[in-house]
Amino acid sequence: MPEYLAPGVFVEEVSYRSKSIEGVGTSVAGIVGPTRTGPLRGRPELLTSFADFVRIYGDANDLVIGGNAVLNHTAIAAKAFFDNGGTKLFAARVVSGVNSTNSESVGSSASFATRTDTNTDVTFNSRFPGASGNLTLELIWRDSENLLKSEMTSAPEDGEVVFLEATGLTSAVRTTGISGQVPPARFPMDIRALVRREGDHFVIVNNRCEISAADETAMTGTEFRPSDGDPGDEGILMVAGLVNGAGVTVNYTRVHAKNPTSGALADGTFATLKFTAETDLSNFTGATHWGTLTTLRGTLNAGGSEFTVDGSGLNAGIAAPIVIPLPALAANASSAAGIMAQRNFDIDVRSGGANGEVIYSYGNISSSPEADNSLPNVMQSEPAKRMDALTSPVACVLDDPVTGAEIIAALYEMFDSAALSPPPTSVEGPRYLITLAGGVDGDAPAAIDYGGEVDEVNGNTGLAAFEDIEDISIVLTPAASTDESAHQAIVAEVQKHCRKMRYRVGIVDAREGMALSEIRNFRSNFDDSRLALYYPWVVTADPTGARTSISVPPSGFIAGVYANTDVTRGVHKPPANEPVIGALRFAQDINRFQQELLNPDGINCLRSFPGRGHRVWGGRTLSSDPEWKYINVRRYFLYLERSIEKSTQWVVFEPNGERLWANVKSTVEDFLYNEWFNGRLLGPTPKHAYFVRCDRSTMTQNDLDNGRLVCEIGVAALKPAEFVIFRIGQKTADA
């Protein structure tokens, strides 16, 4: 009774009813096995669809285990679980040596994909180890943000290396027209390059730049005569290519020449094109619209009206850098701010190569290392948000120190050269692709990897990662080894886990292609009511489309049947005589006589019936105890036990007397009455269906002295109608 020390009115809240017990969920599953990607340690995330699984653990494409391609049984089982009605799934990824990893998943037989430049200024790493980390990054430049802006007043300091992007520079061009058509004397050009300011000039760093025509429409409809070597003959050049010290592969976007003998229009048949008689762009060879420019070097005049190529003849031996004067870019040096050190871009992450599916996108990344949206800030090694840490596929690390220009140079070095210079027949422009390599799925995980370890610092692994998740009631390992001893050892790990966690059952798969004698011998290794064995494997359509059909373990399908039955009917209903959604057939046809041999041993068969489809045709455990022969009885009692345990925690440390005993008894009776009323217990009346005792008959004085409250509960569980018998005989008709 509360303590009252001063006069006044006091209001107390009291309860005149017993506490209620809420039934726990039984449809949550936990799956353990190798996947294409995903974390190796820590608390697993709840998955409510196969799309969630793919987002964190990758798709169902094959794994490369020990150098051999194998089916991705874990992902396929996860899909089967959701297809068969499951809605809540936890997954733990395992690889060989998973218990040796640190919190960053480093240390197992699986390795990370990576890519870096020569100076290691920029390094890309896959988020998690595995062959699926061999991704392709496609940079998409945000060109509209980097054009020349004459209104800006700040210019780079002398000697500073910046990124130049200038548009609309005009070069003088004189041509000989055909049929009276006179082309324009000038056409605009765009230049992009890494440049270093030297006084009034910008020198292109490492002779590396892009030069392209800014306006193709000015050339439309005009034909030009091929050069015959006479300095007076000239042509029009519109190019888009990469200039470097070794030469240039040039994509002719519009080059026309007319054969002087036949008069027929021909493309790319000339040897020399000239801006003027004194400035040669030489040695163009190759197929139509394509050629090789061996040397391109020169300067724009102060007005930007002419690009002069230095040297003589065909510019042989010229290796000095291209020089672009500042006045060619802006009206005066102080407004040459179109030369920008910062360039923004997006990155699409593709799986399966340059033309693969885009699985993730990073937007608005800056080349400046100090920007809030810099590469390491957008593609963080340790994201602050957990969802980013689980789903972001790539991390980026920059050298310290590094400049924006060095970042751009590093990116250009990593770009796929073939994609930068498409083949002659390609209609695509240059693509900026960076391919990560070196990711390996590792070796086949062993039983110790499936069992996992408890590590409070780095995070738990394997089955141990499920120990902190109370909701899980179904456990499966569909990718268990094809080796007999390894397979048995992995099932033993599942058995130990289910017994340790008490309120869980494990779904056990047979190995692929086991004969009846083999499956019976395998079953004889276990005697546990918390394990249920299913046979044979399921033939289903390949979710990747690589094959017409594949044979997979049944546990993913069965777990979905468990979950769906629990939700639609209740855990008291045997998860049998239910269709296997997604099954095309079963790997072996089991007939009635074969099942008569397997069923008494607790081996649950999957069978096909004419007109009734493919069904689960067994509901037994691997226990030799007749009391726990049926899986629904075992799971129903686990449901009752966990519901009562979870909802009676309030009893602990209450005064242990008659009032508490009556309250506990009433609480449990109300819960069991509801179970009986809903048809989950056997008996015509509650009195026949259950009893609850909590009084002096269940507790001795020694129990009370040692703080024990003992409540005895008995329930009449419903057993499945496994054998339905109709007795029919003849009778004599009465008058």
Which tens digit of pLDDT belongs to each residue from 347-382? 999 998 899 999 999 999 988 888 899 999 999 999
Task: Report which secondary-structure segment, H or E, holds 92.
Answer: strand 89-93
- Residue 242: pLDDT band by 50, 70, 90 thresholds? very low
Domain assignment present for residue 9? The answer is no
Domain assignment present for residue 5? The answer is no
Q: How far is CA 591 from CA 323, 544, 603, 606, 651, in A?
A: 85, 32, 14, 10, 53
Q: Answer yes or no: do 323 and 194 share one domain.
A: yes
- The owner of tokens 């391919």 is 435
**Environment class of 34 (CB within 10 Å of its CB; exposed 0-12, middle 13-18, buried 19+):** buried
- Residue 159: pLDDT band by 50, 70, 90 thresholds? low
Longest distance between any two alpha carbons in the chain, whole Å = 130
| Cα–Cα distance, 232 to 225 (Å, whole number) | 11
Number of domains, the chain: 4
Q: 285 or 422, which is more confident? A: 422
| Cα–Cα distance, 264 to 642 (Å, whole number) | 89
Domain stops at, among 416, 435, 454: 435
Helix axes 50-57, 73-83, angle to 10 degrees: 160
The identity of residue 12, as a single letter, is E
Domain assignment present for residue 600? The answer is yes
- Residue 160: pLDDT band by 50, 70, 90 thresholds? low
> φ, ψ for residue 405 (rounded to 5)?
-65, -40
pLDDT of residue 205: 56
Percent of the chain, pLDDT > 70?
71
| Cα–Cα distance, 498 to 500 (Å, whole number) | 5
- What letter does residue 695 receive in the DSSP assignment? S
pLDDT of residue 401: 87
- The owner of tokens 């593709």 is 350
pLDDT of 569 strictly over 60 = yes
| Cα–Cα distance, 8 to 25 (Å, whole number) | 48
- The owner of tokens 């040397």 is 295
Helix (H, G, I), strand (E, B) or coil at 393: coil
Q: 403 or 538, which is more confident? A: 538
Domain assignment present for residue 349? The answer is yes
CB atoms within 10 A of CB 591: 9
Percent of the chain, pLDDT > 90?
61
Q: Answer yes or no: do 551 and 454 share one domain.
A: yes
Domain stops at, among 340, 356, 378: 340
Contact between 443 and 109 under an 8 Å Cβ cutoff? The reply is yes
pLDDT of residue 395: 96
pLDDT of 624 strictly over 80 = yes
Give the pLDDT mean for 687-716.
Answer: 96
Number of residues that this document lists for the chain:
735
Q: Answer yes or no: do 330 and 373 share one domain.
A: no
Domain stops at, among 383, 414, 435: 435
> Of the ranges 220-229, 514-523, 657-666, which one carries the lowest mean pLDDT score?
220-229
pLDDT of 152 strictly over 80 = no
Print the domain residue range for 460.
Answer: 29-106+443-632
Contact between 485 and 461 under an 8 Å Cβ cutoff? The reply is no
| Cα–Cα distance, 650 to 653 (Å, whole number) | 8
Domain assignment present for residue 641? The answer is no
pLDDT of residue 417: 79
The identity of residue 191, as a single letter, is I
Contact between 211 and 239 under an 8 Å Cβ cutoff? The reply is yes
pLDDT of residue 233: 33
**Environment class of 650 (CB within 10 Å of its CB; exposed 0-12, middle 13-18, buried 19+):** exposed
CB atoms within 10 A of CB 625: 11
Q: Answer yes or no: do 608 and 506 share one domain.
A: yes
Give the pLDDT mean for 226-254.
Answer: 31
> φ, ψ for residue 148 (rounded to 5)?
-60, 125
Q: Answer yes or no: do 493 and 599 share one domain.
A: yes
Could you tell me which residues come within 8 angstroms of residue 691 by beta carbon, excluding any fewer than 6 positions away? 712, 713, 714
| Cα–Cα distance, 674 to 656 (Å, whole number) | 27
Give the pLDDT mean for 302-308.
Answer: 38
Q: Answer yes or no: do 459 and 405 share one domain.
A: no
- What letter does residue 40 receive in the DSSP assignment? S
Q: Answer yes or no: do 458 and 355 share one domain.
A: no
Q: Answer yes or no: do 516 and 483 share one domain.
A: yes
Give the pLDDT mean for 566-591.
Answer: 96
Angle at 389 between CA 387 and CA 390, to 5 degrees: 65
- Residue 483: pLDDT band by 50, 70, 90 thresholds? confident
pTM above 0.85, yes or no: no
| Cα–Cα distance, 559 to 80 (Å, whole number) | 9
Q: Answer yes or no: do 461 and 599 share one domain.
A: yes
Domain assignment present for residue 637? The answer is no
Could you tell me which residues come within 8 angstroms of residue 67 by beta carbon, excluding any fewer than 6 positions away? none
- Residue 262: pLDDT band by 50, 70, 90 thresholds? very low
- Residue 141: pLDDT band by 50, 70, 90 thresholds? confident
Domain assignment present for residue 642? The answer is no
Q: Answer yes or no: do 628 and 715 share one domain.
A: no
Please tell me which of 269-278, 398-407, 661-670 the model is most confident about, judged by mean pLDDT. Answer: 661-670
> φ, ψ for residue 37 (rounded to 5)?
-155, -175
pLDDT of residue 426: 67
pLDDT of residue 148: 34
**Environment class of 714 (CB within 10 Å of its CB; exposed 0-12, middle 13-18, buried 19+):** exposed
CB atoms within 10 A of CB 430: 18
DSSP code per residue over 463-530? GGGGTT-TT--EEE-TT--SSHHHHHHHHHHHHHHHHHHSS-EEEEEPPTT--HHHHHHHHTT--BTT
> φ, ψ for residue 243 (rounded to 5)?
-95, 130
CATH number of the domain to which 65 belongs: 3.40.50.11780
Q: Answer yes or no: do 324 and 376 share one domain.
A: no
DSSP β-ladder status, 63-65 and 68-70: antiparallel
> Of the ranges 265-279, 341-355, 556-570, 623-637, which one carries the lowest mean pLDDT score?
265-279
pLDDT of residue 201: 57
pLDDT of 288 strictly over 70 = no
- Residue 16: pLDDT band by 50, 70, 90 thresholds? confident
pLDDT tens digit sequence for 310-336: 333 323 333 333 444 443 343 223 323
Give the pLDDT mean for 265-274.
Answer: 32
| Cα–Cα distance, 404 to 339 (Å, whole number) | 13
| Cα–Cα distance, 350 to 111 (Å, whole number) | 19
Domain assignment present for residue 19? The answer is no
- Residue 418: pLDDT band by 50, 70, 90 thresholds? confident
Could you tell me which residues come within 8 angstroms of residue 476 by beta carbon, excluding any fewer than 6 positions away? 29, 30, 31, 32, 77, 494, 506, 507, 509, 555, 556, 558, 559
Q: Answer yes or no: do 296 and 315 share one domain.
A: yes
pLDDT of residue 371: 86
Count helices and strands (H / E) in the chain: 15, 36
- What letter does residue 449 receive in the DSSP assignment? H
- Tokens of residue 555, six digits: 């546990």
> Of the ranges 206-220, 283-297, 478-492, which one carries the lowest mean pLDDT score?
283-297
- Tokens of residue 95, six digits: 């690889």
pLDDT tens digit sequence for 632-657: 999 999 999 999 999 999 999 999 99
pLDDT tens digit sequence for 71-119: 999 999 999 999 999 999 999 999 999 999 998 889 999 999 999 998 8
Helix, strand, coil fractions of the chain, as percent rounded to 5: 25, 25, 50
- Tokens of residue 399, six digits: 């050298």
> φ, ψ for residue 247 (rounded to 5)?
140, 180
| Cα–Cα distance, 371 to 376 (Å, whole number) | 10
